[in-house]
Structure 1
Amino acid sequence: MPQDELIERILSMKEELDAVIFAHNYQRIEVQRIADFRGDSLELARKAKELDAKIILFCGVMFMAETAKILNPEKTVLIPDVQSGCPLAAHASADDVIAMKKKFPNYAVVSYINSSAEVKAVSDIICTSANSVKVVNSIPEERGIIFLPDKNLCYYTKTQTHRENILCWDGNCYVHDRFTVEDLKNARGKHPKAKIIVHPEAPPDVQKVADFIASTGGMYRFAKEHRGEEIVLGTEVGMVERINDEFPDTPTFPMSESAICSNMKLITLAKVARSLDEKIFEVVVPDEIAERAKIAIEKMLAL
């Protein structure tokens, strides 16, 4: 089916079904364009809690759709491709976390939202790349912290909070962890007037030489507030496409054109249309897990 017809069909079904479409910033640009809301993990989690639609169709990876379901247990949550998992989330299992809690019984477990529902259920509080500093600062300074699963976000959070009693899990996002100082230098050579903003999932040596460090939501706000200025983004290329789509007067470039999350790109307009049409690929989180995970998520949202 031609793309124009697919889009028309999706928008029509969305109205018929009382559905809303969420798209993360790393989605294909054509998928982002048909979304009611697009944003980073924190923005979409907050928006999910406010909704009154019957169906949420989540264009993102599985942990994001799970979070929407946990916050909206009475709603139907669909994901267009059930294979769209997050390799970063796979770096920590609930059993791993339980074992660490036994080893460090007085430590608080701060889990990045890029984790499974099962991991969230055994965590004290959740964070995102946009609020990890605020979350850690909400925990008494004398209390140790187990921070998982991204070691680079943990490094960033430690440097911003000046806390040494944080144990960093040894996980990473394969897209962001591949960024190098050489990538940054090359980008600066090509775009000498540009501000270079990197995601806190990038390695420490890259963070140290960037102009700014920000979540994708922070990158978006920077672009909105600095219209007409050149920007280089050290994150997944979908974010670059979003800013160029919404702010064509703000030239935005990827720090690396190979920074592509294959899992995010699994979702296509055709899969969105099929999921709505057949109401397939519903996200289910067992009640016991959802109830405990919701406590940790809502602690974050209350900050």
Structure 2
Amino acid sequence: MIELATDIPRQLTARINQLALDADRPVPLSADQKSLLKAQIKQLLVKHNAQLVAHYYVDADLQALAEETGGVVADSLEMANFGAQSAADLLVVCGVRFMGETAKLLSPEKTVLMPDLQATCSLDVGCPADEFAQFCAQYPDHKVVVYANTSVEVKALADWVVTSGNALQIVRHLKAQGDKIIWAPDQHLGHWIEQETGVEMIRWMGHCIVHDEFKAFELEQLKQRYPDAKVLVHPESAAAVVALADVVGSTKVLINAVQSLPDQQFIVATDQGIFYKMQQLAPHKQLIVAPTDSKAKQCISCANCPWMGMNSLTNLAAVLTYFDNQDASTKNHEIILDESKRQQALVALNRMLAFSREHGLVVKR
């Protein structure tokens, strides 16, 4: 029988939802305003030997700018790996806070800035390190496996850090060794891993507010409207949604599916930010947003992470300007890690990186 961690307290869930609703959305810009900001950003990136790295879920303008300036658009681990391999002195991370922390973990000698340090993640907020430490203490004979979407303090408590791209292989490896496992924080990803590996894990019951809102009832109706469409689902979605998928996997797996499969229509159950890269690689294919509405017609994210949406050309230009002017405001955008926590977290992260390099699952450092 699978044991489950106590569900996230209602007050914490309410706080997560309120944070999402309160997240500052960028003001729309005109084409001329965008052009001026991009020119300013490019100039400052060159001046300070800076590298721009962006996640698949941020605004398309930021993804395009990262590519135009020699940076990268990727998932969180590839972003950090790219930064670590770069000769840049300054890394600017467009994403959410744990991604900036991961970049700093692997590049402690570099300055790491973010457009908005308040850009968080419901999985991160929903797994407070102090509460998780108390939970882990109840199971001292278990290996602690945490998803990359967690704070550096939570990673410091872990034996392994994993991504959605390598979690299956690492859990199978632990199963072969006879290890018992605590999993955190995403309950749906954990359940999918259990189903795929046959491993019973003690799961922390967190969730991603974007992927948790895709609904099987509405997805079934949409499949009837588009019977030829392949359904692509990220495993952070609920089991009923995953069960309707033709392809289940990480952002990279879903992007590769659109590019490589012969089908012309795809229903995509992940953040809409991914459409930029999908459309870039498969411009003639039709991408359809999976429904997030419940029968009550309500949603918090509506397939757009509100915290990813806090990254914009405006605040990206601002943080680079602060840095250029040696303004004290730069500190409000810089990732600073406690060195002891960084070293502890690095143990679990390096263990995952070594395993992934050995099995061809990650870019070499």
Band the TM-score falls in, shorter-chain normalisation? over 0.9
Structure 1 stretch displaced more, 56-65 or 239-248: 239-248
Aligned equivalents of 2:83 and 2:89: distance in 1? 12
Of residues 141, 149, 161, the one that matches 1:106 is: 141
Report the Cα distance in structure 2 between the residues aligned to 1:244 and 1:67, rounded to whole angstroms: 28
Residue 302 of structure 1: aligned partner? 354
Asked if 1:6 corresponds to 2:33, the answer is no
> Aligned partners of 2:216, 2:125: CA distance in 1, in Å?
27
Q: Which amino acid aligns with 1:262?
A: P
Which amino acid in structure 2 is aligned with residue 157 of structure 1?
A: I
Q: Give the letter for the 1:26 counterpart.
A: Y
Asked whether the 8 Å contact 1:107–1:144 carries over to 2, the reply is: yes
Matched, 1:270 2:314: yes
**Larger mean Cα displacement after TM superposition, 213-222 or 63-72:** 213-222
TM-score with structure 2 setting the length: 0.80
Tell me, what secondary structure is at the counterpart of 1:174?
Answer: coil
Aligned partners of 2:287 and 2:80: how far apart in 1?
26
1:155 to 2:191 alignment: yes
Determine what percentage of the aligned residue pairs are the same residue: 31
How far is the alpha carbon of 1:295 from its aligned partner?
1.2
Q: 2:169 aligns to what?
A: 134
Q: Which sits farther off after the overlay, 29-38 or 218-227? A: 218-227
1:26 aligns with 2:61: no
Deviates more, 1:228-237 or 1:81-90: 228-237
| Paired AA for residue 152 in structure 2 | A
Which residue number in structure 1 is paired with residue 83 of structure 2? 48
Q: In 1, are the aligned partners of 2:231 and 2:244 still within 8 Å (CA)?
A: no
Instruction: Give TM-score, length-normalised by structure 1.
Output: 0.95
- What is the letter of the counterpart of residue 192 of structure 2? Y
Contact 2:77 2:102 in 1 (8 A): no
Tell me how many residue pairs correspond in the alignment: 302
3-state SS of paired residue (1:145): strand
- Note the C-alpha offset of 1:228: 6.3
Q: CA deviation at 1:139?
A: 1.5
Per the alignment, residue 232 of structure 2 pairs with 197
Report what 2:99 is aligned to: 64
Q: Do the aligned partners of 2:146 and 2:155 also contact (CA within 8 Å) in 1?
A: yes
Q: Which residue of structure 2 aligns with residue 220 of structure 1?
A: 255
- The residue that corresponds to 1:287 in the other structure is 339
Report how far residue 260 of structure 1 moved: 1.1
CA distance in 2, matches of 1:15, 1:91: 38
Structure 2 vs 1, CA of residues 56 and 162 (structure 1 numbering), >3 Å: closer, same or farther?
A: same
Q: Which runs of 5 or more structure 1 residues have no equivalent in the other structure?
A: none
- CA displacement at 1:262 relative to structure 2: 0.6
Counterpart CA distance in 1 for 2:310 and 2:173 is 37
Which residue, out of 281, 284, 303, partners 1:259?
303
Distance 1:225 1:169, change over 3 A: same
Cα RMSD for the two superposed structures? 1.5
Amino acid at match of 1:146: I
2:188 and 2:237 in contact (8 A); partners too: yes
Cα deviation, residue 287, structure 1: 0.4
Partner of 1:193, secondary structure, is coil
**For the structure 1 residues 227 and 283, does the alpha-carbon distance in structure 2 shift closer, same or farther, using more than 3 Å as the test?**
farther
Note the alpha carbon deviations across 1:53-85, whole angstroms, 9 max, x for none: 101100000000000001100000000011101
- Is 1:17–2:48 an aligned residue pair? yes
Query: How far, CA to CA, are the matches of 1:256 and 1:181 in structure 2?
Result: 9
User: Are 2:53 and 2:72, in contact at CA under 8 Å, matched by a contact in 1?
Assistant: yes
Letter in 2 for 1:161: T
Deviations 1:179-226 (A, max 9, x none): 111232233133221110100000011111211111111111112213
